Structure 1
Amino acid sequence: MQSFTNGIFFLTRTLFDLYIFIMMLRIILNWVHADMRTPLSQFISKITTPTLKLIRKIVPAVHGIDIGGIIVLLLLEILKFIFLILLSSGGFPSIGGLVVLAFAELLQQLISIFFYSILLFVIFSWITTLINPSLYYFLFQITEPLLRPARRIIPSIAGLDFSPVLVLIFLKFIQMILTQPLLIIGYQMAIGH
């Protein structure tokens, strides 16, 4: 029975995380005003538009920030953690803990998306002839809003751009001092410890 519960736990977490990942990419693409004509952007748009269309009727964007999309992300995270905590402990989690946990998990995933996008962008910039140009452009659109301010702090030295290193260090720092403690606090609040 334990292996069945573990399987359901894994499947629940994976499906929620996959959709949340795609939804978060959509919100990032909207935030950076990305070209939605690339194949990957079109795929993301096709998967997320039905959900976003419903919420945007109720909650419009404010100053270019997709508030409806953020609410969907929070609700999905809260639902995910309700299912996971019910599966693992059998008790219903506290709402306050769920909100903290959902916020921390979303922040963690946002940092991960930017971290790995920058890493891939840097690697792909060394081998541009071997990769799909639309994927490279997609990564450029996601990473440029973070890399541009970093380039003002650390200009290129001998033709080498060190701004990705600065941003990656900053992202890991935020992850360590903010998201990891929030995840622990949120989990403890949610299960009542």
Structure 2
Amino acid sequence: MTNALIFLITTFSNLFCIALFLRAWIFWRRISPFNNPYCTFIYQITDFIVVPVRKIIPSSKYLDFPSLLIAYLVGLLQTVLNLLIASTGLFFTLAPFIPIYAVLVFFDNLLSLVLWLSLFYAVMSWISPISPLQNFLRTLIEPILTPIRQMLPNPLKKGPFDFSLLFLMIIIIALQMILKSAYKINIPL
């Protein structure tokens, strides 16, 4: 029963964090939510909490601080709930480290989002390269792929395949492994 509850809490909090990260990413890329149904959807499912927080904490020119702050707080709440459900003794032992674990959850969710969007971008480029969803994904992913393409050796740049997406996925997986191994204590995140 506790494993199922931890799974549900983790899944829903991760999905909500992903929506908040997408909102911040859309804000950073300056994609108009009025012209794009994907942006409109992301804004609709996050407006209920981001709009009130934005009245207290404004966004900067490039960063949507309210969305990122809420994503961190959701990760913090996820960590607290999972620790409370898993074991009360574990919660009180690890209480001072909960904000650090929440940062781990924050970055893990962010890296997972980029990984899944990259994978979806690759699949959509094969299935439907001219779809509106592919254009939306391209707008999000290409600013990350451009510096990777510039660092690739010439034979890989001039080859018939774009290896930048593969290298991005390898980098993300390696970073996630580093994040998870940075904390040796096994707690349900």
Q: Note whether the superposition's TM-score is higher than 0.5.
A: yes
Which contiguous aligned blocks of 4+ residues in structure 1 show a shift greater than 6 angstroms? none
Identity %: 26
Q: Which shifted more, 8-17 or 140-149?
A: 8-17
Q: Which position in structure 2 is the counterpart of 1:173?
A: 174
Q: Which amino acid aligns with 1:142?
A: L
Give yes or no for contact 1:100–1:183 (8 Å, CA) kept in 2: no
Normalising by structure 1, report the TM-score. 0.82
Instruction: Tell me, yes or no, if the aligned pair for 1:22 and 1:44 is still in contact at 8 Å.
Output: yes
**CA distance in structure 2 between the partners assigned to 1:123 and 1:52 by the alignment:** 31
Aligned 1:48-127 pairs, distance under 5 A: 48-91=46-89, 92-93=91-92, 94-127=94-127
Q: Secondary structure at the match of 2:63?
A: coil
Give the counterpart of 1:14 among 11, 17, 21.
11
How big is the shift at 1:12?
2.1
Extract unaligned runs of 5+ from structure 1.
none
Q: CA deviation at 1:183?
A: 4.7
Question: Residue 165 of structure 2 aligns with which residue?
Answer: 164
Report what 1:149 is aligned to: 147
TM-score by length of 2: 0.84
Alpha-carbon spacing, 1:38–1:103, altered in 2? closer, same or farther (3 Å): same
- For 1:69, give the aligned amino acid: S
Is 2:83–2:187's contact at 8 Å kept on the other side of the alignment?
no
Find the aligned partners of 1:21 and 1:33 in 2 and give their Cα distance: 18
2:177 counterpart letter in structure 1: M
Report Cα offsets for 1:36-77 as digits up to 9, x if no partner: 232221111001112111111111123411122211111111
- Paired with 2:61 and 2:10, the residues of 1 have a C-alpha distance of 32
Any idea what SS the aligned residue of 2:59 has? coil
Aligned residues: 183
